[in-house]
Every structure is written in C-alpha cells, then in structure tokens.
C-alpha cells in the first residue's frame, strides 16, 4: 500500500493547464502595468509575484513571468528596495529569491541591480531563503 502512495501523481496547484497559466500571466501583466502607471512599484512587485507558473511545462510562460518580475525589480530605485522587501511575507520572499536567480540567468545585464535585491532579501529572509529557492523542484 505504501508503494501505491509513493507512485501517486503529485497534485499541482489549481490552474495547471497552459491556457490557465497564460491567463494568469496576462492578468498579472495587466495588474503590474496598472500599478506601474500610477508609480506604485510596491503594488507592482506584489502583483508580479501572484500566481507564479510553478509546475508549468511551457518554458515560454515561465520566461515571460520571470521577465515581468525582473522588469519590476529593475524599475525600483536602489534606495527603495528595502521598503519593497519589508512589505513581503516569507513565501513571497522565497519566490522573489527564485526570480532573482532566474533573472541572473535570463538578464545578465541587470546583474548589479539583482545583486542589490538579493542582498536585501537575504538580509530579511536569511540563508534559508537561498536554500529553499535552489532546492525547490518547482522552478519559475
């Protein structure tokens, strides 16, 4: 019986179809754009972190999601980064750390800015955030 449990399919969160992930990305993009148009980068950051495409098989969706988050991160002034990080809870910080690492991969030109974000998240969330971001199988 234990073997049956071990071989049971892993349930992925609600919204697992590619179409649903695409809709969630479009909704997040619209929310981020609206927040950025009102110069509310705190709301833009929180909106960009909602409904991440964890478990999505389509690389293009994950790439666009990462680009959305990195664009928000790079639009924040360095002096305001701590204020933005302080407004996030632990799960958002872990997710943000995943996106920072993804940003290093996809946007090397933004590495300096991403390092500043990395330091701020590390200061608030601790080393565990790095471990959780790297060890989690569900990538962004």
| Amino acid 18: pLDDT | 87
| Cβ count within 10 A of residue 126 | 12
Sign of the torsion angle spanned by Cα atoms 55, 58, 59, 61: negative
Give me the tens of pLDDT residue by residue for the chain, a chain 140 residues long. 444 444 333 334 454 688 999 999 999 999 999 999 999 999 999 999 999 999 899 999 999 999 999 999 999 999 999 999 999 999 999 999 999 999 999 999 999 999 999 999 999 999 999 999 999 988 89
| Amino acid 8: pLDDT | 36
Give the C-alpha separation, 102 to 99, whole Å: 5
**Half-sphere exposure of residue 16, counting CA atoms within 13 Å on the CB side?**
7
For residue 119, give both structure tokens: 């330091």
């Amino acid at each position: 019986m234990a073997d049956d449990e071990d071989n049971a399919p892993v349930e992925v969160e609600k919204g697992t179809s590619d179409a649903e992930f695409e809709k969630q990305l479009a909704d997040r993009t619209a929310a981020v754009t609206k927040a950025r148009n009102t110069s509310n980068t705190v709301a833009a950051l929180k909106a960009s972190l909602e409904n991440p495409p964890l478990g999505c098989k389509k690389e293009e969706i994950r790439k666009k999601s990462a680009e959305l988050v990195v664009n928000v991160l790079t639009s924040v002034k360095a002096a305001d980064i701590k204020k933005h990080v302080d407004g996030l809870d632990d799960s958002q910080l872990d997710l943000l750390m995943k996106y920072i690492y993804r940003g290093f991969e996809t946007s090397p030109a933004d590495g300096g800015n991403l390092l500043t974000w990395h330091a701020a998240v590390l200061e608030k969330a601790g080393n565990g955030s790095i471990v959780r971001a790297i060890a989690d199988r569900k990538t962004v």
